[in-house]
Amino acid sequence: MCAAIAVLATPPARAQANDADVLAAKEAAQRGQWKVLESYRSRFAGHILEAYPAYWLLAGSVERADPREVRAFLDRHPASPLSESLRREWLRALGASASWEVFRAEYPRVVGDDVEITCYSFQERLARSDPEVMAEARALFVSGREAAGACEPVFASLAAAGRITEAETWDRLRAMLAEGNVKEARRANALLASTIALNDKQLERASKDPLSFLAKEKLGKTIPRAQQELLVFAVERLARAKPEEAAERLAALTTRLEPQAWRAAQNHHARALEWYSQVGTTA
Confidence (pLDDT) at 283: 42
Residue 81 has pLDDT above 80, yes or no: yes
**Of 276 and 117, the one with more pLDDT:** 117
**Of 14 and 39, the one with more pLDDT:** 39
Give Cβ neighbours of residue 176 (< 8 Å, ≥ 6 apart).
144, 146, 182, 184, 185, 188
Q: Please, is 52 exposed, middle or buried when counting C-beta atoms within 10 Å of its C-beta (0-12, 13-18, 19+)?
A: buried
Judged by average pLDDT, the poorest of 73-77, 221-225, 251-255, 267-271 is: 267-271
Checking 211-216 for CB contacts under 8 A at 24+ apart, the result is 211/238, 211/242, 211/245, 214/238, 214/249
Q: How confident is the prediction for the chain on average, in pLDDT?
A: 81
pLDDT band at 258 (very low <50, low <70, confident <90, very high): confident
Rounded mean pLDDT of 10-35?
57
Question: Closest Cα to residue 261, out of 145, 136, 183, 177?
Answer: 177
Residue 269 has pLDDT above 60, yes or no: no
Confidence (pLDDT) at 1: 43
Confidence (pLDDT) at 272: 54
Confidence (pLDDT) at 132: 96
**Of 255 and 179, the one with more pLDDT:** 179
Confidence (pLDDT) at 12: 39
Give the count of beta carbons closer than 10 Å to the beta carbon of residue 224. Answer: 13
Helices (H), 32-132: 34-41, 51-60, 67-76, 81-96, 100-106, 115-127
Rounded mean pLDDT of 47-69?
82
Confidence (pLDDT) at 3: 40
Confidence (pLDDT) at 29: 59
Q: Please, is 112 exposed, middle or buried when counting C-beta atoms within 10 Å of its C-beta (0-12, 13-18, 19+)?
A: exposed
Confidence (pLDDT) at 11: 38
Residue 260 has pLDDT above 90, yes or no: no
pLDDT per position as a tens digit, 158-175: 999 999 999 999 999 989
pLDDT per position as a tens digit, 190-249: 999 999 999 999 999 999 999 999 888 888 788 888 998 999 899 888 888 888 888 888
pLDDT per position as a tens digit, 119-135: 999 999 999 999 999 99
Q: Give percent of the chain above pLDDT 70.
A: 73
pLDDT band at 31 (very low <50, low <70, confident <90, very high): low
Confidence (pLDDT) at 282: 42
Rounded mean pLDDT of 57-80?
90
Rounded mean pLDDT of 86-101?
97
C-alpha separations of 60 from 24, 38, 55 in Å: 16, 12, 8
**Of 111 and 134, the one with more pLDDT:** 134
Domain boundaries, the chain: 195-283
